């Protein structure tokens, strides 16, 4: 079978790679073309656009880069028609992928959507587009199943793909030695995978490091960047940037400062107390506050339905406020223990690994049924 996948962010590249690995087990003749990243490329097939050329954050940023977005859409549509896959698998990235879903449906291509768009957060009318253009929807949060039922849709809860990635991780028992980190306790900095996030958040994170000289601060480098992208922010500080070592870093971290996104959930699953930070463009955030219908921005708090980790957003995200929260995580044993206890509940709620395998089996199953009906 021929599969075309589209992932527009670092997290989508990770989940896409795991899904491709699972599809190869279910379909020995699986052939791939995709928009994605280096992790997907390592699974084989043809990478036609890297996500680093696609990820734009916020309403204003999207407007600024609208021409690039339209060029990417045009390229994706042409590539899909040229390849004419048996299945188009869209991974998150809804602003782009819902347009591609509509296009593919009009051309008779079966559309599978892995990781539901967060339509429960805002613009719920997008469910109508999903219902019309997506053949099968695979969700990674249990509450999404009930949400879609209210719109007359039956969807699949497949578990969360982060559990797959963590289960597949091979721990480096010599991590400290191999990375020359010494014996100081580690504070992990996860500033995100978008360039705007580095500009808005990394400076504040690094300023906080000046107030904790007894700790070793370490930056988790995003795969879409190189060391030169971080150096202007680091300056003369002795703060290493480690690439492809995020899980090993979290295994050794005492606490973490994390930009809102998938990394907040990863940090919680590794049982690392964290403070979540976020800054967007003023116009983008103002619009979001009018439209978004959820109480929290971090996945940890959204899944648990309460504030488990502190969220410092926009004007509340300052070096001073980050410092105060980090001090609590390091010095207040009750506060720290309470967060770790909530993490245990989170892990139980998330269930078992195997999301990628479940999605692969379902995709191959539906494609097989489709072929039987056409014979």
- Residue spans of the domains in the chain: they are 2-159+354-374, 175-350
pLDDT more than 90, % of the chain? 74
pLDDT at 63: 59
pLDDT at 360: 97
Q: How far is CA 50 from CA 23, 77, 94, 288, in A?
A: 21, 16, 17, 27
| CATH superfamily label, 2-159+354-374 | Glycogen Phosphorylase B; (3.40.50.2000)
Q: How many residues does the chain have?
A: 375
pLDDT at 290: 54
pLDDT at 196: 86
**Cα–Cα distance measured from residue 122 to residue 34, given in angstroms and rounded to the nearest whole number:** 28
Residue 50: in which H helix or E strand, if any?
strand 46-50
The DSSP secondary-structure symbol of 200 reads: I
Residue 277: in which H helix or E strand, if any?
strand 274-278
- 55 closest CA partner among 16, 88, 94: 94
Tokens coding 132 = 């019309």
Residue with tokens 């360039």: 195
pLDDT at 287: 53
Residue 226: in which H helix or E strand, if any?
none
pLDDT at 280: 76
18 exposure class (CB count in 10 Å sphere: 0-12, 13-18, 19+): buried
Residue 194: in which H helix or E strand, if any?
none
- 76 closest CA partner among 105, 96, 57: 96
CB atoms within 10 A of CB 166: 15
pLDDT at 38: 95
pLDDT at 370: 67
CB distance 326 to 207 below 8 Å: no
Residue with tokens 């030169």: 228
Ranges of the chain with pLDDT below 70: 55-65, 281-294, 370-375
CATH code, 175-350 = 3.40.50.2000
Contacts of 333 (CB under 8 A, 6+ apart): none
């Amino acid at each position: 079978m021929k599969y075309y996948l589209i992932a527009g962010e670092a997290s989508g590249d990770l989940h896409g790679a795991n899904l491709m690995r699972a599809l190869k087990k279910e379909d020995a003749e699986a052939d791939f073309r995709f928009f994605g990243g280096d992790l997907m490329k390592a699974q084989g097939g043809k990478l036609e656009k890297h996500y680093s050329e696609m990820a734009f954050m916020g309403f204003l940023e999207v407007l600024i880069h609208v021409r690039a977005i339209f060029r990417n859409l045009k390229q994706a549509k042409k590539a899909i028609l040229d390849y004419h896959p048996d299945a188009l698998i869209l991974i998150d990235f809804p602003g782009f992928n819902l347009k591609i879903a509509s296009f593919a449906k009009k051309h008779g291509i079966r559309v599978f959507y892995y990781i539901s768009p967060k339509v429960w957060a805002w613009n719920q009318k997008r469910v109508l587009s999903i219902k019309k253009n997506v053949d099968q929807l695979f969700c990674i949060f249990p509450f999404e199943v009930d949400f879609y039922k209210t719109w007359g849709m039956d969807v699949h809860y497949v578990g969360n793909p982060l559990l797959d990635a963590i289960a597949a991780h091979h721990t480096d028992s010599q991590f400290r030695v191999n990375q020359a980190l010494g014996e100081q306790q580690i504070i992990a900095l996860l500033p995100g995978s978008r360039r705007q996030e580095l500009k808005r958040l990394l400076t504040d994170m690094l300023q906080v490091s000046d107030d904790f000289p007894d700790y070793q601060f370490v930056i988790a480098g995003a795969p879409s960047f190189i060391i030169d992208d971080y150096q202007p922010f680091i300056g003369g500080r002795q703060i290493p940037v480690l690439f492809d070592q995020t899980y090993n870093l979290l295994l050794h971290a005492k606490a973490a400062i994390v930009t809102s996104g998938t990394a907040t959930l990863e940090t919680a699953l590794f049982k690392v107390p964290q403070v979540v930070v976020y800054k967007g463009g003023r116009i983008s955030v103002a619009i979001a506050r009018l439209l978004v219908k959820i109480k929290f921005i971090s996945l940890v708090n959204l899944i648990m339905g309460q504030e488990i980790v502190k969220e410092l957003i926009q004007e509340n995200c300052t070096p001073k406020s980050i410092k105060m929260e980090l001090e609590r995580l390091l010095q207040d044993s009750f506060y720290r223990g309470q967060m770790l206890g909530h993490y245990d509940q989170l892990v139980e709620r998330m269930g078992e690994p195997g999301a990628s395998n479940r999605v692969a089996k379902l995709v191959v199953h539906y494609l097989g049924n489709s072929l039987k009906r056409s014979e």
